[in-house]
Chain A
Amino acid sequence: MKTIIVACGSGVATSQTVASKVDKLCKERKIPAKVMAVDIKSLEQNIRIADVYISIAPSYKDYGIPTISGIPFLTGVGMEETMDQLEEILKK
């Protein structure tokens, strides 16, 4: 099972919102995946166990794993397309 990681400023509110939405969408599409919300300040520790990083905070850093934007899951704009993208990555 692949691990998806979502990070926000405290690992509490925004990342949790995105994580539960992604989790729901994964279940709907029958994609087996574990979604974790973490504190961006501890991202370096957590990213080692992740296969995909959903980023809410655009950053210049490359973490060496596929990264997709989490904003569509918050606004609802372009959410399906982003989910297709995520599914594609997880199938690999």
Chain B
Amino acid sequence: MKEVINYILDLGPAVFLPLIMIIVGLIVRMKFSTAFSSALTLGVAFLGMSVVIDFMFDAIGPASEAFVNNTGLQLNILDLGWPPNAAIAWAWPYAFFMFPIQIVINLLMLGFNKTNCLNLDLWNVWNKIFTAVIVSGITNSLAMGFIVASIEVVLELKNADLTQKQIQRMTGIPGIALPHSMALTAVVLAPINRLLDFIPGLKNVEIDAESLKEKLGIFGENHVMGFIIGIFIALFAKYDLKSTLTLAVQAATALTLFPMVATLFMKALAPISDAAGEFMKKRFPGKEIYIGLDWPFLAGQPEVWVTCILLVPVILLMAVILPGNGVLPFGGILNICFAATALIVCNKNLVRMLILGVIATPLYLYVGTAFAPHITNLARQVGTIDIPANQMITWNGMEAPEFRYVFSRAANIINGDYFGLVLLAGYIALYIWYFKHMKAREAEAAKDLGLS
């Protein structure tokens, strides 16, 4: 049996992922032809991502090496943003187990009235897979990976409850909630935001974010941002004009193609998440619940984009000056996970969002640095992704960096890492404060909405 499994895993994710997918597809009663097409799309998605990553390393690898040589800065960890990391997470052999885990926890919590959120965002199951991948990489324990990922499922559902009315007040959409784990970062952002209350004058600063977004919007487009970062890297690498422009267009290409290829993952997995969603909805008719969705229903708020764009120079500067940082920001330079969370925490106050952004940027960079060896290892293990020997990869701006760091250290107690327990105690204390704070804010939002 073990030999069979090893043989299958040795085929590489582009082959074994479709095999697993066909089996899962047939279990959720897909027609064979649909299951086959979806499965093959998953293989294509994975190989497609490998192709783009290879292209990117061919272009940016030498430039970032020259960057390191010329500046003496040890920024040898390339930030790939989320799409390649999603590809790596899906390629983990145990990835699909996360679907039933998330669904069962959600249904149990609904059944026992521990949450009001039915999370239909099954795309972001991959966030929990990614957590499990990192934690089991650090602890060498598969069980620990799944335990921490399960805690993440619980906390993100709780967090959906703790933000639902505030989000409704902001967006005007009733009946939905945000169980995305990005918003767990509110646990550390909310206390800082509370401290900002004591700075006089901050409450009444009004900025027209919409008109700012009109002016800055172009910088948010993937190819334009890629072009700019390409020029930034080339400048430090001391490239001549021709090489600089070439690198800039290559970087623009990589950042444009990443999400395009990631769409293939979505297309492949859609039938499964549809089937799972129907399964969950059928089990809860008539009960007062909120539907948990992915974050883009917040994407119409201009503050999100203005924050992302204005933080770009901050992230680049900090990457260069922060001692111990190894991340060269690239694919994750627009920190959506921060901006969308800060939008809720600061209730759309742009000045506060920017202040929190400056404070939080080191958190994202340092956790990106700390996890790089594990992400790189996994990418090498799953094969087909070639990362040059002296390079590592990571994701600056990942969701819930504080949660992942604290809980991976705490889980590492099994290897005698006691410092993790100190971190965990601190996290729990913060969380208790956060829970009460958000309850009060929810009550206030409910009053504004005329619900209480």
Contact = CB atoms under 8 A, between A and B. Distances in A.
A14 B294 contact: yes
Interface in B149-200: 171-173, 175-176
Nearest to B304: A9
Interface stretch (B47-55, B239-247, B295-303): B295-303
B336 interface: yes
8 contacts: A7-B299, A13-B124, A16-B266, A17-B270, A42-B222, A58-B297, A60-B210, A75-B175
Contacts of B266: 12-13, 16-17
A9 B175 CA distance: 20
Contact of A8 (B221, B296, B302): B296
Interface string B291-333: 1011111111110010000000000000000000000000000
Interface string A26-62: 0000000000010111101100000000011111110
B259 interface: yes
A57 B267 contact: no
Given A10-B262, A16-B267, A58-B171, A77 B291 contact: yes
A79 B222 CA distance: 32
In this complex, the member of A8, A20, A42 whose beta carbon has the largest number of chain B beta carbons within 10 angstroms is: A42
Contact of B299 (A40, A44, A69): A40
B341 to A, nearest CB: 13
Nearest to A8: B296
A15 B295 CA distance: 11
A40 B259 contact: no
Contacts of A61: 210
B220 interface: yes
Q: What band does the interface of chain B fall in when counting residues whose beta carbon is under 8 Å from A?
A: 35 or more
A72 B88 CA distance: 32
A76 interface: yes
B332 to A, nearest CB: 12
Q: Which 9 A-B pairs have the closest CB atoms?
A: A57-B300, A59-B300, A8-B296, A57-B299, A9-B296, A75-B291, A41-B220, A13-B123, A9-B299
A58 B220 contact: no
B300 A58 contact: yes
Contacts of B295: 9
B270 A20 contact: yes
B426 interface: no
A71 B292 CA distance: 11
A46 to B, nearest CB: 11
Interface residues of A, number: 32
Contacts of A25: none
B256 to A, nearest CB: 9
Nearest to A37: B263
B296 A57 contact: yes
B120 A71 contact: no
A45 B220 CA distance: 13
A30 B296 CA distance: 29
A16 B259 CA distance: 12
B374 interface: no
Given A8-B296, A57-B301, A74 B172 contact: no
A17 to B, nearest CB: 6
B417 to A, nearest CB: 35
Given A58-B171, A58-B173, A71 B259 contact: no
A69 to B, nearest CB: 8
B81 to A, nearest CB: 10
Given A16-B270, A61-B210, A77-B175, A39 B259 contact: yes
Interface string B339-353: 000000000000000
